[in-house]
A and B are shown apart, each in its own frame.
Chain A
Amino acid sequence: MVKVGSQKGLGLFSGNEAIAAGAFEANVSLGTGYPGTPATEILENLVLYPGVYAEWCPNEKVAVEVALGASFAGYRALSTMKHVGLNVASDPFVTAVYTGVNGGLVIVSADDPGMHSSQNEQDNRHYARLSYAPMFEPSDPQEAYLMIKEAFEVSERFDIPVLFRTTTRVAHSRQNMSIEGLRKDREPLFVRSAEKYVMVPSNARKRKKDLLIRVRRIKEYSESTDFNFIELNSHEVGIVTSGPAYLYIKECFPEASVLKIGFSYPLPEKLIRKLAQEVELLLVVEELDSIMETEIKSLGINCYGKEFFPADGELTPGIVADGIIKAMTSLKQKSYAIGWTSSERVEKIPERPPVLCAGCGHRNLFYVLKKMRAIVTGDIGCYTLAVNPPLSAMDTCVCMGASIGEAHGFEKVQPEESKKKVVAVIGDSTFVHSGITGLVNAVYNNGKSTIIILDNRTTAMTGHQDHPGTGVTLKGEKTVELDFEKLAKAIGVKYIAVVDPYNMKETEKALREAIEFDGVSLVIVRRPCVLIEKKKKPPYYIDEEKCTGCWVCLRLGCPAISKKGDKAEIESYMCTGCGACEFLCRFDAIHLVKEKTDG
C-alpha cells in the first residue's frame, strides 16, 4: 500500500489535479496523452505519483493505443486529451469499445465550451453515443476525484472503455478538498483471447452483439449509481442538467427540483420519468448541443431546453438564470427574480488580445513571410497568434498538422503561370503530432510546397511540455532526440535548410531559395522558446535623438515597443534583447542599453 499527500498540496485542487489524485488511488499503472488545453495538467500531475508510469505521446491516437495495450495486459490505464484530440484518437477508441478491456481503461476528454483555447467547441458527449462507451461528467474537482475512481470500476465491471468528459470549468477551476492518497495493489492477468481482442469481421460481429448487451446492463447501472440523483424541491419546475451547469442552477434557483446527471450515457430513463411525473414543467439545461433534450423528447416526455438556453458558448450563472426566468415567464406566466443585478459594461476599453512574447523567434519569421507576401497555411500553436495585426501573416488554421496538406492542395490546383508562393508553417510538436504524414504525402506526390518547421524546442502554448524532438520524456529522463533533418532526408525532401530566426537576413535568404526550389522544400527555423531560454541577453533602448517616428519597429508587434509621443520607446524590463528591431531600424536609433551605460 502506498500513501502520498497532495502533490500540489495545500488542499486546493484543480479538476485536473483531482483527476490525477483519483486515478492514482484507483490504481492506475499507466497514463498517456498529448498536451492540450484544458487537459494538460492531468498527466503532469499523474507522473508525480509513485508507482505510476506516464508518458507524452506524439499524438492522441498513439496515446489511446498505448493505454489500450496496458489495459489488455491487465493493468489500469488512463489516457488524457482535449476534445479535438479525441477526433485523432477516435479510430482505436471506437473499436476498443467492441473489444472491451482487461484492466480498466478511462479516456478523459476535456471539452472547451466557449473556445477559451480551441479551434472549435465540439460536444464530445456525441462520442458516447457514436461508440456506445459509457460517460461520466463531473461538475467540479471534488466530484471528478470521486468519479474517476468509479469510472475504473465501471470499466472493469462492464468490460468497456469509459469516457470521462470534463470542461474548462471543471479542469481549470479549483476548490478546497481532501484526498485519501491511498492505493491498494491489485493483481493483473493477461488472458489470451483472439475472439475478444482480434477484431477481424467474424469476431467483431460477435463483439458488437455483446456490446449491445453490455450497454443494456450499463443502463441499469445508470438508474442506480449515486452520480445520478434527484433533488426534489418545488413541484413547479424540474431541471435535468449535467456538468458545471448544475452548480449554476444551485446558485440561481436553489428551490428548483433537479435531476443531476453525473453518469450521462446511457441516460437514466426511469429517473427522468420520475422527475417528469413530480413536476409541472420539465426543463433541460445542458451546455452546447441538445443531446439530453432530444433523447428525453424521444422517450415521449415533454420538456423544454434550447428555446431558452444557447447551443453555443459556455453557460454561466447569468445565462442559466436568464433562461430559466424566460422559460418560467413564457410557459408558466410567472415572474421570477434573482438576487443580483448587473450594471452596464464599461465601453471603449481597448482590446488586449494575446501576443507573441517579446523576443519570440516566431515574430521574426512571420515578419519575413509578410514581406515576401506568401500565402501561409497555418497550424495550431503559439504561432497562430501571427494572424493578428500587425503581422497578419497567416491565411488558414484548421487543426493539428493541417498546414502541410493544405499547402500541397493549394499548390496542386494553382495554374503554373499565376502560381502564388504557398508556405506551410507548423510547430515542432505539431509536426511530430500529425505533420509527418503530410510531408510524406507532399514528397510522394511530387509536390513543390515549402514547409517551415518553427522549432522552438518545446510544446509552448500548453505550458512547455517535452516531445520526441526535445530528447526529454515526461518524467524528465533523457532519450533519443528525433532529428528533423534526417527524418526529412529519409522521407525524400531534397531541399533542407536550418536557420536561426534572430538572423532575419539568413532566414529570408533560405526562404527565397526554398520557394524557388523545384520540389518539396523544408526550412527548419530553430530558436528555443524565449520563455525557456535561460541565458538572458541585454535589452535595447531607442535613441530619441535619432528616432524619426517611422514606426517600422512597431510593425513587429513586439509588446516591449510602444509609441511615446512621436518617438518609439522600448520597455527595458520587457525587452529580451533579440535584436529584431535593431535590424529593422534604418536610422541607427536602436542600441543595447549596455552600450549606453558603457558610454
Chain B
Amino acid sequence: MDNYSQSNLIIAGVGGQGNIAASEVIAMTAIKSGLNVRIAETHGMAQRGGAVHSMVRYGKKVFSPLIPEGDCDFIISLEYIEGLRWLHYLKKGGMSIVSTEKRLPYTVSAGFSEYPENPEKIYKKYGSAIFINALELARDAGTERCANIVMIGAFSVFESFPEEDWLISIKERFRGKFMDINQKAFFLGKKAALTEVKQK
C-alpha cells in the first residue's frame, strides 16, 4: 500500500474461531510498517458460537474504528458463509478471502433456514474472491485452532508487509508450542493463496 491510502478489513467468523487474535496479528504487523491502526471488536453476548466480526483499519491517519459501508478492501471470512453478511461493505475492486470451513448455524441444523448452496458465486458477484481449505491446512499444521492464522497467511499475499514482520507478530501473540504451530499455519495459508492466485 502507498503512504496515502488506507486499508480496511472485516474479519468475519463464528465466536470461538479466533477472530480477535487474527485482527491483533494483522494490526501488530501493520504497526511494524509505521502505520496507525484501529480495530473494532465483538465481545460478550455476541460470542458463544454466534456470528462475530472485527473491523481492522490501517493507514497514515485513521479516524473511525468502524468502516463505512462500501469502503472495505478485504473481507476475511473464517467460515464459509460468514463473510456474506458483510459483502455490502466491500468497495469496488475489493476482495474476499474465504475459508471453506462450514459451521452450520443452529437455525440451519434445526431446519429453520438453509445454508446457502453456492457461496462462491455470491462472493464473486461482489468482487474477486479466493477460497482456502483452512481447516485441513490447520490440521496439517497441528491443530484446528490455528485455522485463523492459516487465513492470515493467505491474506498476507495481498498486503505488502514483510514476511518477517508477520512472523514476529505471531511470535508476540502466541507462546510456546502454539507459536510454532501458528507459524507453520501461516506458511501453509500463504502457499495455498499463492497457488490459488497462480491458477487464475
Partner-B contacts on A (CB < 8 A): 9-12, 14, 37-38, 116-118, 140, 169, 172-176, 244, 247-248, 250-252, 316-318, 321, 338-346, 348-357, 382, 385, 388-390, 461-463, 554, 557, 559, 561-563, 573
Contacts and interface: CB of A to CB of B under 8 A. Distances in A.
B69 A116 contact: no
A342 B69 contact: yes
Contacts of A554: 109-110
A573 B49 contact: no
Band of interface residues on B: 35 or more
B46 A117 contact: yes
Given A317-B64, A340-B71, A350 B113 contact: yes
B110 to A, nearest CB: 6
B44 A37 contact: yes
B39 interface: yes
B108 interface: yes
Contacts of B50: 352-355
Given A349-B84, A354-B46, A339 B114 contact: no
Interface stretch (B85-93, B156-164, B181-189): B85-93
B49 A357 contact: yes
B91 A340 contact: yes
B88 A382 contact: no
Contacts of B66: 169, 244, 248, 316-317
A355 B107 CA distance: 11
A251 B38 contact: no
Nearest to A562: B109
A248 B114 CA distance: 36
Given A175-B36, A252-B68, A354-B50, A343 B126 contact: yes
A494 B150 CA distance: 57
Interface string B75-106: 00000011011011111000000000000111
B140 interface: no
A251 B63 contact: yes
Contact of A172 (B28, B43, B114): B43
A189 B36 CA distance: 43
B107 A174 contact: no
B24 interface: yes
Interface of B: 14-15, 24, 27-28, 31, 36-51, 62-71, 81-82, 84-85, 87-91, 104-116, 122, 126, 144, 172
A212 to B, nearest CB: 38
Given A346-B126, A354-B48, A357-B49, 10 more contacts: A116-B45, A173-B40, A174-B38, A176-B27, A317-B68, A321-B68, A340-B68, A340-B91, A388-B106, A389-B112
25 contacts: A12-B27, A116-B43, A169-B40, A172-B41, A175-B65, A244-B64, A247-B64, A247-B65, A248-B66, A340-B68, A340-B69, A341-B70, A343-B126, A346-B84, A346-B88, A350-B114, A352-B14, A352-B49, A352-B51, A354-B46, A388-B106, A390-B106, A461-B44, A562-B109, A563-B109
A355 B68 contact: no
Contacts of B37: 12, 174-176
Given A176-B36, A350-B107, A116 B172 contact: no
A316 B66 CA distance: 7
A341 B92 CA distance: 9
Contact of A346 (B65, B71, B85, B115): B85
Contacts of A38: 43-44
A427 to B, nearest CB: 14
A510 B49 CA distance: 31
A251 B68 CA distance: 9
Given A342-B89, A343-B90, A357-B48, A349 B68 contact: no
Interface centre among B39, B48, B51, by most A CB within 10 Å?
B48
Given A12-B31, A117-B45, A173 B65 contact: yes
Nearest to B91: A340
Contact of A174 (B27, B42, B116): B27
Contacts of A388: 106
A286 B57 CA distance: 24
A296 B126 CA distance: 45
Given A174-B37, A350-B113, A352-B50, A169 B65 contact: yes
A11 B32 CA distance: 10
Contacts of B40: 169, 172-173
B14 A350 contact: no
A98 B142 CA distance: 60
Nearest to A246: B63
**Shortest 10 CB-CB contacts between residues of A and residues of B:** A117-B44, A354-B50, A37-B44, A342-B69, A342-B70, A562-B109, A117-B45, A173-B65, A352-B105, A354-B48
A594 to B, nearest CB: 20
Nearest to A350: B113
B116 A573 contact: no
A189 to B, nearest CB: 40
A10 B28 contact: yes
Contacts of B45: 37, 116-118, 354, 461
Contacts of A344: 88
Nearest to A82: B44
A317 B50 CA distance: 24
Contact of B24 (A12, A247, A350): A12
Contact of B115 (A11, A37, A116, A350): A350
Given A247-B63, A250-B63, A10 B41 contact: no
B43 A356 contact: no
Contact of B107 (A12, A175, A176, A353): A353
A340 B115 contact: no
A317 B84 CA distance: 21
Contacts of A389: 106, 110, 112
A118 to B, nearest CB: 8
A403 B46 CA distance: 23
B165 to A, nearest CB: 12
B42 A559 contact: no
A342 B27 CA distance: 25
Contacts of A563: 109, 111
Nearest to A346: B84
A343 B71 contact: no
Contacts of A350: 81, 105, 107-108, 112-116
